[in-house]
């Protein structure tokens, strides 16, 4: 079962929420934090899920969530009394996986946490795929640029330039893009 960090910016007692989570088998970590210390609390406690209970997400709370999303991403469930569409979009943009308006219904809590975790994992997978594709595109651009330099400076055909890059990469035990980057750096150095 997931380890949960409870965060609140409200005066409502959340003892019932803690009890429901514990009854469902979740480990509720430490004390209830406030959003101003969220990143520090997550780094210290290392929860699997963060549950935030706010009357309305403040700008500071959204900034803290964005920092959390950038530096220590976790599934975040936000309960709020404010259903303003702009706030919901801002919260999702700050990394909130589930934004629930009007109440902490204990009977729905387990499924809300599961959905948030599944959505977070799906988004993390998509981010990794996107990062790989962007790196492949960057590598392809480097290789094409290095081939162009070899074709221009050494009078090679495109096939010969690519073969030379490949041969050098195999000889050095390096990635083709790394060899291309070195050739580009050297060409820039020599002018």
**Domain co-membership, 146 together with 83:** no
pLDDT (0 to 100) of residue 90: 95
Highest mean pLDDT: which range of 2-11, 52-61, 118-127, 143-152: 143-152
* Closest CA relative to residue 51, chosen from 19, 12, 96: 96
**Domain co-membership, 135 together with 49:** no
Edge-to-edge strands of the sheet including 49-54? Answer: 27-33, 3-8, 49-54, 76-80, 98-101
What tokens appear for 131 in the block? 């990062």
Higher per-residue pLDDT: 147 or 29: 147
Helix (H, G, I), strand (E, B) or coil at 178: helix
pLDDT (0 to 100) of residue 137: 97
Q: Is 122 part of a structural domain of the chain? A: no
Domain boundary among 104, 122, 157: 104
pLDDT at 75 exceeding the cut of 70: yes
d(C-alpha 126, C-alpha 114), whole Å = 18
> CATH number, domain at 150?
1.10.10.10
Q: How many domains does the chain have?
A: 2
**Domain co-membership, 140 together with 86:** no
Q: What pLDDT band is residue 175 in, cutting at 50, 70 and 90?
A: very high
Q: Please, is 85 exposed, middle or buried when counting C-beta atoms within 10 Å of its C-beta (0-12, 13-18, 19+)?
A: exposed
* Closest CA relative to residue 42, chosen from 51, 62, 118: 51
> CATH number, domain at 82?
3.40.50.2300
pLDDT at 63 exceeding the cut of 80: yes
Cut 0.75: pTM above it: no
Q: Is 45 part of a structural domain of the chain? A: yes
d(C-alpha 191, C-alpha 187), whole Å = 6
10: left (phi over 0), alpha (psi -120 to 50) or beta: beta
**Domain co-membership, 7 together with 69:** yes
- Domain hosting 40: range is 3-104
Residue range 121-140: mean pLDDT, rounded: 95
Percent of the chain with pLDDT over 90: 58
**Domain co-membership, 138 together with 74:** no
**Domain co-membership, 84 together with 25:** yes
Helix (H, G, I), strand (E, B) or coil at 54: strand
Q: What pLDDT band is residue 32 in, cutting at 50, 70 and 90?
A: low
């Amino acid at each position: 079962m997931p380890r949960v960090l409870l965060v609140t910016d409200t005066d409502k007692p959340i003892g019932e929420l803690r009890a429901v989570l514990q009854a469902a088998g979740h480990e509720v970590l430490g004390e209830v934090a406030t959003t101003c210390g969220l990143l520090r609390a997550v780094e210290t406690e290392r929860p699997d899920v963060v549950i935030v209970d706010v009357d309305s997400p403040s700008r500071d709370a959204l900034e803290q969530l964005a920092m959390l999303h950038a530096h220590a991403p976790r599934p975040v469930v936000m309960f709020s009394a404010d259903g303003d569409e702009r706030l919901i979009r801002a919260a999702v943009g700050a990394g909130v996986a589930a934004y629930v308006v009007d109440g902490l219904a204990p009977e729905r809590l387990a499924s809300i946490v599961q959905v948030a975790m599944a959505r977070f994992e799906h988004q993390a997978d998509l981010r990794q795929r996107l990062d790989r594709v962007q790196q492949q595109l960057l590598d392809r651009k480097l290789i094409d640029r290095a081939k162009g330099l070899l074709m221009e400076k050494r009078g090679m055909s495109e096939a010969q330039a690519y073969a030379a890059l490949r041969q050098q990469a195999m000889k050095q035990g390096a990635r083709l893009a790394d060899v291309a980057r070195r050739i580009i750096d050297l060409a820039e150095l020599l002018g």
